[in-house]
């Protein structure tokens, strides 16, 4: 009974959600030790602890043994958590492998328009991911993993359900045009440059106006400044002094003394 889909689960793409995983891989997952010991009676809440402990993504490795990532993916398909819970998985930025697990599940179960709307913002995440396959361990990046989910047919040894191309959905009006982060950055720079130019032009105009006003207020003659205020220090050098007393010559002074 541990391998049956939860009662009341909705059909995904017209079939049982667990059947989205190929029969061979699904049987190997059911027979694996990790499935029997760690995935029994998991719920949408208790599965978080197992997803946090993930240390890699991938499909099968070694002697066709499934990774823990595949086991938890099949468990999600079995219990079919609500959409709000999956969005909470994606918003946990500090747990990148749980985020990758939720992105893989959304790609397999959501409608095409919702897949693009939910997964495309995750391409801003450039963290490294450890990938495990038949060749061993290798490194990939989170944005590259999301790009593969949107463009490739097989990811982590799982054949993904086909979805419509983004261009087709845009022509049908189901989704809007893709927002490019590079284009937004370029538009932001152009707006900043235009703002700086407008500020510099306004400053130059204000400076020229102030200069013209100062020139109009200060009269000049032949390039020299002429003050309009009356001069208070006028020297009376040209005014002659006239004495009111009569001058007496020395001859008259002698005459008067003889008399």
Q: Which of the two residues, 217 and 115, has the higher pLDDT score?
A: 115
Work out the average pLDDT over 179-190: 69
> 0.75 cut: is pTM over it?
no
Q: What is the pLDDT of residue 72?
A: 96
pLDDT tens, position by position, 196-213: 666 666 666 556 665 555
Give the pLDDT confidence of 10-22 residue by residue, as tens digits. Answer: 889 888 999 999 9
pLDDT tens for each residue of 228-237: 555 444 444 4
pLDDT digits (tens, 9 = 90+) for 29-64: 999 999 999 998 899 999 999 999 999 999 999 888
Strands 154-155 and 136-141: unpaired
What pLDDT is stored for residue 63 in this prediction?
86
Residue 168 predicted with pLDDT over 50? yes
**Residue with the two structure tokens 């029997």:** 36
Residue 255 in tokens: 């005459």
Q: Max CA-CA distance within the chain?
A: 169
Mean pLDDT of the chain: 81
């Amino acid at each position: 009974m541990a391998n049956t889909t939860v009662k009341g689960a909705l059909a995904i793409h017209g079939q049982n959600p667990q059947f989205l995983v190929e029969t061979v891989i699904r049987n190997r997952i059911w027979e694996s030790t990790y499935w029997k010991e760690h995935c029994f009676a998991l719920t949408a809440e208790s599965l978080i602890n197992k997803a946090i402990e993930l240390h890699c993504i991938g499909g099968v490795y070694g002697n066709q043994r499934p990774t823990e990532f595949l086991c938890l993916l099949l468990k999600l398909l079995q219990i079919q958590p609500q959409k709000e819970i999956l969005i909470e998985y994606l918003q946990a930025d500090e747990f990148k492998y749980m985020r990758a697990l939720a992105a893989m599940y959304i790609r397999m179960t959501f409608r095409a328009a919702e897949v693009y709307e939910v997964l495309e913002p995750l391409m801003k995440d450039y963290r490294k991911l450890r990938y495990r396959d038949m060749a061993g361990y290798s490194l990939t990046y989170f944005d590259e993993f999301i790009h593969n989910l949107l463009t490739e047919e097989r990811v982590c040894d799982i054949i993904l359900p086909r979805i419509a191309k983004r261009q087709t959905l845009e022509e049908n009006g189901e989704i809007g045009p893709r927002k490019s982060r590079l284009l937004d950055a370029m538009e932001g720079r152009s707006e900043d440059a235009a703002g700086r130019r407008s500020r510099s032009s306004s400053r130059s105009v204000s400076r020229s106006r102030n200069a013209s006003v100062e020139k109009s207020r200060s009269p000049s003659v032949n390039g020299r400044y002429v003050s309009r205020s009356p001069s208070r220090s006028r020297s009376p050098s040209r005014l002659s002094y006239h004495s009111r007393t009569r001058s007496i010559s020395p001859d008259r002074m002698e005459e008067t003394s003889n008399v």
